[in-house]
Structure 1
C-alpha cells in the first residue's frame, strides 16, 4: 500500500519519520507475535524431523521380526554356469548335487514356400493359407490371422504377435526368402495347420527338448526351460551350460543369509543413531551458537533415554554386547558386524532371541512367557512416538501447528489495526498542517492590515 508523505511545509516537522517511528512503537506487540510464530513453526518442524527418524526406526525394527530373522536364506552354487537363489521356504543346510545332462531347446522349423518379396501381397494360393492354427502338446490352440493383401512382413508380424511362435525372415539370396518359425518357449512342442487343414507347409528342423539334471543319487529332474523351481523346496536353480562327460557334479547348498540379517541389524542401528543425533541437535545448544530449537525438551530427552535403554538392557538374561551392540561414550550405538555374524553362525537361537524376541510357549504343561527382543522394543517405542493417530511427536507437532494458526490470525488482525492507526495519524498530522496553514494565513492577513493602519506613507 502506498502511503503519501505529509511532511509539514508549515510546521517544518518531518511528519513521515514521526509517523514511521510511532508505528514502530505501535507494532511492537505484533513483532513479538511474529517472533513467537517463527519459534512455534520451527518447533513444529523439529518435532516432525524427529518423528521421521522414529518412523525409520519402526520400519527397520519391523524388518527384524522373529520370522524374517529366521527366514533369511541364501543358496550357493559350486559352478559358475549354475545360479541359485532361495526363499524363506527353503530349509537351511539342505543341499543337492547333480550334473547337467542337457539344456532345454525350442522346437523350430521352416515354412516350405520360398518368397520373392517381403513387401508384396502374399499369393492367393500361398501355403500356408491363413488363418493358421497353432496347436500345442497340451491341446491349447491359437489362431493367427492376417489382413487382406498382407505382405510377408505382415504375416511374420502377426505370427510374432501371437505369443506362441517366433518367426524370422531368412534371405537365402537376393529375391529368395524363407520363413523360420519356432516355439516362443523351450521344451514345448507344437503343430501348425492352415485354413485348408494341411500342415501349412511347416517342416520341423529342431525338436523341443527339456533340460535334464542327473542327481548323484541316480534320480533325474527335467524342466521345460533351463530353470528348476523347487528342486529343493524354496529354491530356484538356473543352468546355462550342459556338462561334459566326466565333469564333477555341481552342488547347490542352502544356508542362513547372514549378510542379509546383518544388513538389517545395521540399518536398525543407523536409524537409531540418526534419531539420537537429531534429538541432540534440537535439544542441546552449542557454545557460541543460537539456543537449540527444543532446548531441554523433556519428551525428546525421555525418548532418547528410552532408545538407549532398549539397547543397554539385558534381553532374556543376555547382553546386547554378545551380538556386537554396545553404547558408546558419545551417546551413540556401535555395531560390530563381524561379532554379530560370528554369533549368528554359532548360536542363531540366542541371536534371534536378543534381536527379535520369542513368543510364549507351553511344553509339557510348563509355560514360558514371551520375550520382547531389541527390535520389538524399538518398534514399540517408535510406534508410541510416531503413530499417525496417537504418536506423541505427531501430537506435539499438531499442537504447534494449532498455536501457529492462532498466532497468524492475531498477526493478521494486528495488520488491520496498524493500518487504521497509520491512517489516523496521517489524518491528524494533515489536520495539524491544515490548521497551522490557516493560522499562518490569518496571521499574514492581520499583519498586512496592521501594517496598513500604521503606514506613514498611506494617503489620507
Structure 2
C-alpha cells in the first residue's frame, strides 16, 4: 500500500520523519508495557515447565509409596515349560507346586464325505448340508455360513475362514482323488469348541456329516500333595494364586519334581522406580537452578532469585536427606551431591533390598502407626511419601503453588495485553492528529506563500519605472 506523504509541500520539512520520531516518544509507555508482557509470559512459561517436572516427581514418588512399592512383584517358575507373571495383587512369598497333567487343545473335525478335487462342487455330496450353522459350547448359534449353488470345496473353505465365527477350515488330501474338509475351532478347551450343524440337522444330530478328530480339551494341573485338579480352557491359569498367572506349554505328569511357582519382590522393577524418581528430582532441581540463577556474563535469569522456587528446592532436598527411623537415605544408596543434585547407587540399593527389604521399605515408604503395650508409635512418611507431598502441594491442578503462580502471570499478561491494545488505539488517534496538524500547517504555509507572491507582484507593478502610464 502506498502512503501519501506531505513532506515539504510548503515548508520543506521532513514531516514524515518528524511524525515518526514524535510517535516513538508517544509509544515509550507502550514499549514498557510490551517489555513487561514478555517478562510475564516468560515467567508463566517457566512456572509451567517447573510444574511439569514436579508432577513427574509426584508420579514417580507415588509408585514407591505403600501400595506402589508393594506392586513390584515377580513370579518365578522351576519349570522352563511354565512361564509365570505376577501383578500387584500377588502376595509376597506365596508359592504353589503342581504337575501339568495335560495341555489345552482345540476341537477338530473331518468331513465324512470326500470330493475328487478341491474344485468339485461342494454340494455334490449330501453331507454336510448347506447352509451350516456354527454353535458355541452352550449350543447358541454364533452365525450361519451360506454358499452359492455352484460353490466349490475351495469356496467352502474360504467362506468358513472369512466368516469370523470361531472356526477355520482347510482341505486335507488323503489320496489322489480323495479330498476332505477339515474344520478346527479357534478357541481351545471345552469353552472354545464350536459345533457345525447342517441344514438337515438339529442340535441333537449336529455334525453327523463329520468325524471327530480331536475333542476340545482343557489344560489340567494337579496340585502337589492333594491330588486335586484345576482346569483351564486355555494353557494359561489365572488367579489360582491371587494376582498370579502362568502358561504351560508341555504336559509332564510323571516328572520327578513338580513345578513350583513362587512370588517375590521384583528387585529390578523397584530399582528402576527409584531411578525414575531420582531422575525426576534432578530434572526439577536442574530446571529451577536454570530459571533462578544467572550464569556469569549471561542475561538475568527468567525467575532470578524467585523465593517460591528456592523454597521448593529446599523442601525436595530436605525430603531426601532426612533420616527415616534413625536411618539415612545413604543406607539404600541415595546421597546428596555438592552441586545440589541426588546421586543413586543402584548396586547398593539392590544389595540392601536383597538383605534387608524391611529397611528399604521403611526408608522409601515409611512406617505405619502401631501400638505396643499401650504405647502408640505414630506413622512416619518415607522419602517417597515426603516427595509426593511436596510435589502435590506444588503441582495440584487447583491449589498447587506453581499452578497459581503460572495463573497469576497469565492474568497479568492478559491485563498488560489489554492495556497495549488500548494504547494502539490512542497511538493511532495521536498519529492521525499529528498528520492532520502538519497537513494543515503545510496548507497554511502554502496559502501564505501564494499571498506573498501575489503581493510582491502587485507591489512590483506599482513601482515599476518602465510601466507605461
Q: By the TM > 0.5 criterion, same fold?
A: yes
2: distance between equivalents of 1:433 and 1:99? 109
- Corresponding residue for 1:283? 292
Aligned counterparts, 1:229-240, within 5 A: 229-240=238-249
- Residues 289 and 122 of structure 1: CA distance in aligned 2, closer, same or farther (over 3 Å): same
Shift of residue 408 of structure 1?
0.7
- Corresponding residue for 1:29? 29
Deviations, residues 334-364 of structure 1 (Å, cap 9, x unaligned): 1111111111222222211211122223355
2: distance between equivalents of 1:74 and 1:165? 36
- Corresponding residue for 2:103? 103
Shift of residue 309 of structure 1?
0.5
Q: Residue 171 of structure 2 is aligned with which of 166, 169, 178?
A: 169
Q: Tell which deviates more after alignment, 393-402 or 79-88.
A: 79-88
1: distance between equivalents of 2:142 and 2:321? 69
- Corresponding residue for 1:427? 436
CA contact under 8 A between 1:121 and 1:149: conserved in structure 2?
no
2: distance between equivalents of 1:413 and 1:42? 22
CA contact under 8 A between 1:357 and 1:370: conserved in structure 2?
yes
- Confirm whether residue 149 of structure 1 aligns to residue 148 of structure 2: yes
Deviations, residues 385-426 of structure 1 (Å, cap 9, x unaligned): 111111111111111111111111111111111111111111
- Corresponding residue for 1:334? 343
- Corresponding residue for 2:56? 56
- Corresponding residue for 1:388? 397
- Residues 11 and 193 of structure 1: CA distance in aligned 2, closer, same or farther (over 3 Å): closer
Q: Tell which deviates more after alignment, 101-110 or 368-377.
A: 101-110
TM-score normalised to structure 2 length: 0.89
Aligned length: 459
2: distance between equivalents of 1:165 and 1:122? 18
Shift of residue 22 of structure 1?
0.8
2: distance between equivalents of 1:403 and 1:174? 88
- Corresponding residue for 2:214? 206
2: distance between equivalents of 1:400 and 1:22? 32
Shift of residue 131 of structure 1?
4.6
CA contact under 8 A between 2:73 and 2:263: conserved in structure 1?
yes
- Corresponding residue for 1:76? 76
- Confirm whether residue 450 of structure 1 aligns to residue 452 of structure 2: no
Q: What secondary structure does 2:246 align onto?
A: strand
Q: Residue 346 of structure 1 is aligned with which of 333, 338, 355?
A: 355
Q: Residue 258 of structure 1 is aligned with which of 267, 283, 286?
A: 267
1: distance between equivalents of 2:409 and 2:142? 68
Q: What secondary structure does 2:187 align onto?
A: coil
- Residues 329 and 126 of structure 1: CA distance in aligned 2, closer, same or farther (over 3 Å): same
Aligned counterparts, 1:336-415, within 5 A: 336-363=345-372, 365-415=374-424
Please provide the CA RMSD for this pair: 2.8
Q: What secondary structure does 1:31 align onto?
A: helix
TM-score normalised to structure 1 length: 0.90
CA contact under 8 A between 2:73 and 2:264: conserved in structure 1?
yes
Q: What secondary structure does 1:107 align onto?
A: strand
- Residues 24 and 18 of structure 1: CA distance in aligned 2, closer, same or farther (over 3 Å): same
Q: What secondary structure does 2:168 align onto?
A: strand
CA contact under 8 A between 1:315 and 1:373: conserved in structure 2?
yes
2: distance between equivalents of 1:89 and 1:418? 69
Shift of residue 25 of structure 1?
0.7
- Corresponding residue for 2:10? 10
Q: What secondary structure does 2:169 align onto?
A: strand
Return 5+ residue gaps in structure 1 as ranges: none
2: distance between equivalents of 1:439 and 1:117? 116
Shift of residue 193 of structure 1?
3.9
- Residues 232 and 455 of structure 1: CA distance in aligned 2, closer, same or farther (over 3 Å): same
Return 5+ residue gaps in structure 2 as ranges: none
Shift of residue 121 of structure 1?
6.7
- Corresponding residue for 1:440? 449
Shift of residue 113 of structure 1?
2.8
Q: What secondary structure does 1:56 align onto?
A: helix
CA contact under 8 A between 2:73 and 2:87: conserved in structure 1?
yes
Q: Tell which deviates more after alignment, 113-122 or 5-14.
A: 113-122
- Confirm whether residue 322 of structure 1 aligns to residue 331 of structure 2: yes
2: distance between equivalents of 1:437 and 1:139? 107
Q: Residue 186 of structure 1 is aligned with which of 172, 185, 188?
A: 188
- Residues 458 and 174 of structure 1: CA distance in aligned 2, closer, same or farther (over 3 Å): farther
CA contact under 8 A between 1:111 and 1:200: conserved in structure 2?
no
